[in-house]
Structure 1
Amino acid sequence: MRSSTCASAAAGSALLRSRLLPLLLLATLACIANASKPIVTGELRCKCVKTTQKIHPKIIASVEVITAGPHCARNEVIATLKKGTELCLNPEAPWVKKVIQRFLDNDSPL
């Protein structure tokens, strides 16, 4: 009786292995596929801590407007100066709104 019990246990073990092996292989492949995908995350905080109150618009080379979202609760305006420096501007200031509008008008196709 002992040898039939061992044979039965071995057969059950082989059956279990034959069912688990493909499942284990599939799970391993899924982990490898997910690990190879790059995780793209942006900054999850505001870029502008403080804003510059006044600069001459002629020294601004470009303007980037970042709308409020999960990364930051407020709109942000980042001006890149002609010498390469970046400054944060107050998006509520009337002169900043004019600068943004000027850049929008210049970038629109004719």
Structure 2
Amino acid sequence: MKMSIRMSASSVIVLLALLTITEGMSLGNLGSDSRCRCIQTEGRRIGKLIEKVGIFPPSSHCKDTEIIATLKGSSKEICLDISAPWIKKFIEKMLANKKP
């Protein structure tokens, strides 16, 4: 009887340890990612589909400026090609509208 209680207690401790480790691993990526977010970029004209845009300047984790757009309806995020002419105009217009 004592052996089964010890086995059960040991199993619970191991399970809790595993849950703690996996939770810690998943939370570790929230604050800082050690690489660029954008692997592929979109250059096609999709301005009317964009709900919001995030601009991420170069940092110690990524040497590139990254522009990530959230699409209307689906909330899907895509990376935009900052060298595409329409994106440059889109960003300029967006920044001009934010000025007081």
Q: 1:44-83, aligned counterparts within 5 Å?
A: 44-83=34-73
Q: Does 1:86 align with 2:81?
A: no
The alignment's TM-score, normalised by the length of structure 2, stands at: 0.62
State the partner residue of 1:11.
none
**Separation in structure 1 between the aligned mates of residue 53 and residue 70 of structure 2, nearest angstrom:** 6
Whichever of the two has the greater Rg, that structure is 1
- In angstroms, what is the RMSD of aligned CA positions? 1.9
> How far is the alpha carbon of 1:41 from its aligned partner?
4.3
- C-alpha contact 1:78 1:87 (8 A) present in aligned 2: yes
Can you give the 5+ residue segments of structure 2 that lack an aligned partner in the other structure? Answer: 1-27
Summarize deviations over 1:1-56 as a string: whole Å, max 9, x none.
xxxxxxxxxxxxxxxxxxxxxxxxxxxxxxxxxxxxxx994112100000012132
**Secondary structure of 2:87's partner?**
helix
**Separation in structure 1 between the aligned mates of residue 77 and residue 94 of structure 2, nearest angstrom:** 16
Aligned partner letter, 2:35: R
**Secondary structure of 1:61's partner?**
strand
- After TM superposition, the runs of 4+ consecutive aligned structure 1 residues lying more than 6 A away are none
State the partner residue of 1:105.
96
Aligned partner letter, 1:45: R
Aligned partner letter, 2:48: K
**Separation in structure 1 between the aligned mates of residue 97 and residue 77 of structure 2, nearest angstrom:** 20
Aligned partner letter, 2:86: W
Please, which of 43, 53, 78 is the counterpart of residue 33 of structure 2? 43
Can you give the 5+ residue segments of structure 1 that lack an aligned partner in the other structure? Answer: 1-38
> How far is the alpha carbon of 1:57 from its aligned partner?
0.6
Aligned partner letter, 1:87: I
**Separation in structure 2 between the aligned mates of residue 76 and residue 87 of structure 1, nearest angstrom:** 10
The alignment's TM-score, normalised by the length of structure 1, stands at: 0.57
Aligned length: 71
Summarize deviations over 1:74-100 as a string: whole Å, max 9, x none.
111101111211110011111111111
